[in-house]
A and B are shown apart, each in its own frame.
Chain A
Amino acid sequence: MIRHHPAAEILVDYARGALDRGASLVVACHLDVCEICRSETRLWEGVGGALLEKLDPAPLDANALARIMTRLDDQQPHRPTREVGLPAYLNRYSIPRALKHESVASRRWVTPGIWFAPIVAKEKTGRRTYLIYASRGTVMPEHQHGGGEFTFVLHGAFSDPSGTYGKGDFAETDERAVHAPAVTQESGCLCLISSDAPMALKSWPARTIQRLLGTPY
């Protein structure tokens, strides 16, 4: 059962295209499993459609129509799901459709119980998007985020002072929060995270590992 949803403003920002790609991807994963938020998003996309109708037309280049008409015959029919083939280590999880278009890099183990796999190459905004897995009972090193962070839980559950987040849940962390999320005891936890800035680790051993690995998370 889904208990944590994106805030209303996040859905509006998603619908109007104001989130960058990684953040949109995390929201889209939640929409894939949450009918309530999907319906809310359709509402704001409908507003976008209605406003598009009302925009003052901008003059096109004189040859715009002619140019597109000559390109029509070259178009390949659209394939609905251009699935790129996710790495085998993800086979055991149910992966939201939104993620199946993305290429996932190979995973990097940080400790015996934690790995990262980058999804979207670092964006101009500095945003990083990655899968992170931590085995049951893992407590992540205490850290703070330079900016906002969106999380979608694909498998398992974790808790931090703001609550417990399970499969299908969406979590937003702002730049002020310092947290040390802990994976629950039942199973390992797989999350999709998109974050504005690298995490700022609070303890020096964790920082040393971060520096040695060169992982920008």
Chain B
Amino acid sequence: MISREQAEFRVSRFNTAARPRFWPVRDEETVARPSAGDTLPDWTICIGAIARHRDKKQFALLFDHFAPRLKSYFIRLAVDNGTAEELVQEAMLSVWRKADYFDPARASVSTWIFTIARNLRIDIARRERDPHRLAEAFEPIPEPMPDECVTTFEREARIRTAIGILPSEQANIIRLHFFEDRSHAEIAGMLDLPLGTVKSRVRLAMGKIRALVEDLQ
């Protein structure tokens, strides 16, 4: 979560023609710190400090926030506790190694970390069979086109808003669909709903998210 001022600053920064490709140089004092209130550090700045200074304190902050969520993500994919811990370590080590390549014009930090975890997930089945081939993680890295960069920040903000305003049963279905690897039929069984209702709720929820984001473009 970032403040409105930070959001506006970033929006204006990304809209300028001379948008920095990766990291704007910033003063040390702008590096993220946990604040006294309920706002979290700006993770973009936090990753920047890791990229530029190999800053372990910032990494620990990032770990405290994301590692338990990543563990929750992997547990939902029905891996055991030990494997989930190991996947969390691997995902966060990737974050440390790849911090230089994080591009705020392409995705928010949480989306970037999600795709790292997602790519590890794709390899889970393979590593179970052949545990020594850890190094070859699935990692397609399509580059963004200049015109799709401009609205990344706004787009992600809209996605968050959209998810925030979904009726709870739609938000719940989206979460089950995205994170628990449930088919529509399984979700229908779990929630004791007809299959058609589940399908239409997924479609509705996704349509709402898309409508809010497209509204922006």
Contacts and interface: CB of A to CB of B under 8 A. Distances in A.
* Interface bracket on B: 35 or more
Nearest to B124: A17
Given A42-B107, A71-B93, A72-B96, A48 B181 contact: no
Contacts of B148: 35, 38-39, 42
Interface stretch (B5-13, B153-161, B186-194): B153-161
Nearest to B108: A49
A45 B136 CA distance: 22
B86 to A, nearest CB: 10
A54 to B, nearest CB: 7
Contact of B121 (A17, A47, A53): A17
Contacts of A21: 122-123, 125-126, 138
B100 to A, nearest CB: 7
A61 interface: yes
Dominant SS among interface residues on chain B = helix
A55 B175 CA distance: 9
A20 B125 contact: yes
B112 interface: yes
Contacts of A77: 97, 100
Contacts of B106: 42
B181 to A, nearest CB: 6
Given A38-B148, A51-B179, A60 B126 contact: no
A47 B163 CA distance: 8
B190 to A, nearest CB: 17
A65 B60 contact: yes
Contacts of A49: 107-108, 110-115, 156, 159
Contacts of B23: none
B12 to A, nearest CB: 20
B209 interface: yes
B141 A43 contact: no
B140 A31 contact: yes
Interface string A26-63: 00100110010011001101111111111111111100
Contact of B142 (A55, A76, A80, A98): A98
A16 interface: yes
B98 A78 contact: yes
Contacts of B125: 20-21, 123-125
Interface residues of A, number: 54
A137 to B, nearest CB: 33
B73 interface: yes
B55 to A, nearest CB: 11
B106 to A, nearest CB: 8
Given A39-B148, A49-B107, A58 B174 contact: no
B107 A61 contact: no
A186 B102 CA distance: 42
A50 B140 contact: no
Contacts of A47: 159, 163, 174, 178, 209
A59 B68 contact: yes
B44 interface: no
B178 A46 contact: no
B140 A58 contact: no
Contacts of B66: 52
A68 B123 CA distance: 21
Interface of B: 54, 56, 59-60, 63-64, 66-73, 75-76, 84-85, 88-89, 92-94, 96-98, 100-101, 106-108, 110-115, 117-119, 121-123, 125-126, 128-129, 136, 138-142, 144-145, 148, 152, 155-156, 159-160, 163, 174-175, 177-179, 181, 206, 209-210, 213
**Complex A-B, nearest 6 residue pairs according to Cβ-Cβ distance, in ascending order:** A49-B111, A57-B68, A28-B140, A17-B118, A98-B140, A58-B72
Given A68-B67, A77-B97, 7 more contacts: A18-B181, A21-B122, A45-B118, A55-B179, A64-B85, A67-B89, A98-B140
Interface of A: 12, 15-21, 24-25, 28, 31-32, 35, 38-39, 42-43, 45-61, 64-65, 67-69, 71-72, 75-78, 80-81, 97-98, 101, 123-125
